[in-house]
Amino acid sequence: MTIKDIAEKSGVSVSTVSRVLNDHPDVSEANRARVMAVVRELHYVPNSSARDLVRPQPDAIGLVVRGVGNPFYTAVIRAIEQAVRAAGYTLVLHQIHTEDNEVPAAASLARAKKLRGLILLGGCFDYTPERIAALDVPFVCCSFTNSFGTLERTAYSSVSIDDQAEARRAVAHLIERGHRRIAILLDSTCDHSISQLRYRGYCQALEEAGIPLDRELVEETSDFDMAAAYSGTARLLKRRPDLTGLFAISDSMAVAAMKALHDGGKRVPEDCSVIAIDGIDISAYMIPTLTTLIQPQEELGEKAVRLLLDLIEGTGENRQLRLQAALREGGSVRAV
């Protein structure tokens, strides 16, 4: 049985049958119903089915988001979804918690959904060849890269800012304005991840300015959420009320820190300057406006999709892209 038989029996043209079978939008409801009734009646299986069974689905790309509810990801996810759709693919979304491991999650998603490729939004910076062996489709790390891992540069793709360099720049911004007792609010100093890279940038800026590292000014919250950032800042303030500057490794942590500083009787920026990295929309509406290094969220998403499509379609190799953050000077930093 061929597509011609279907066309004949349903009284429409061959091209209409083809459009129906390929889910083309440009076909009337009546014709679609007529064709599908015949397909159903005759149990017609198009030629491509045998191939479809063993090939990946032609159009599905997986997005594994690690760190549900991170507001920084909102604009990145939006950009990824739009770029994937514009390229004619479908996005399958899978969100996991920060403490979960994205690699097995991605590998099992790719297999179960026969994905063509994967974008990992948030993840570990320390992949090994053994660890990623389970990923048998192309993948792109978005917003992070393999800084602590052992992968060859030909073995993975990523698009991210240079976390260490941007953190150094943020802290240097405070140092240039006369600050010496600068605290850092972060998840962990040794997570082999974004937190550790930004901590390195903090240490580097201090060292370059000849300021000794003071462990009491390092507040590890063990969590990226605002509640943890709030209570961490409160502890920090109790321990070192003499701090004059604070570098929070994310905008949302900075927002919570500003609240904790306020509740602890410190004015921003009169008593304590605050700077961060991210540039989520809402940070422009804080009072005072948060001074931050804005990550190019749309560009991160678009470039990740572009890299992945090049890998899927064989038009590009694995690459690691670095994007620049842009300083927004708000009102949360002053010279001392």
Task: Tell me how far apart the alpha carbons of residues 49 and 156 are, in angstroms, rounded to a whole number.
Answer: 32
Phi, psi at 294, each rounded to 5°: -85, 120
The CB-of-293 to its own copies minimum distance in angstroms stands at 19
If the CB atoms of residues 47 and 315 are measured against its own copies, the closer one turns out to be: 47
If the CB atoms of residues 2 and 317 are measured against its own copies, the closer one turns out to be: 2
The CB-of-326 to its own copies minimum distance in angstroms stands at 18
If the CB atoms of residues 203 and 302 are measured against its own copies, the closer one turns out to be: 302
The CB-of-25 to its own copies minimum distance in angstroms stands at 6
The CB-of-155 to its own copies minimum distance in angstroms stands at 18
The CB-of-248 to its own copies minimum distance in angstroms stands at 12
If the CB atoms of residues 31 and 90 are measured against its own copies, the closer one turns out to be: 90
Task: Tell me how far apart the alpha carbons of residues 30 and 26 are, in angstroms, rounded to a whole number.
Answer: 12
Contact 326, 296 (CB under 8 A): yes
Strand 117-121, strand 90-96: pairing: unpaired
Contact 173, 149 (CB under 8 A): no
If the CB atoms of residues 171 and 308 are measured against its own copies, the closer one turns out to be: 308
The CB-of-316 to its own copies minimum distance in angstroms stands at 25
Residue 99: Cβ within 10 Å count: 8
Q: Taking CA 100 as the corner, what is the angle to CA 96 and CA 106, rounded to the nearest 5 degrees?
A: 65
Task: Tell me how far apart the alpha carbons of residues 123 and 63 are, in angstroms, rounded to a whole number.
Answer: 12
Interface residues toward its own copies, by CB under 8 A: 23, 25, 29, 36, 39-40, 43-46, 49-51, 53-54, 63, 68-69, 71, 74-75, 78, 81-82, 85, 90-95, 108, 111-114, 134, 226, 230, 252, 255-256, 258-259, 262, 281-282, 284-287, 289
In the 8-state DSSP scheme, what is residue 147?
T
- Pull the structure tokens for residue 300: 């991160």
The CB-of-282 to its own copies minimum distance in angstroms stands at 6
Find the DSSP H helices in the chain.
3-10, 14-21, 29-42, 49-54, 71-86, 102-112, 129-132, 163-176, 194-208, 226-239, 251-263, 297-312
If the CB atoms of residues 200 and 259 are measured against its own copies, the closer one turns out to be: 259
If the CB atoms of residues 69 and 178 are measured against its own copies, the closer one turns out to be: 69
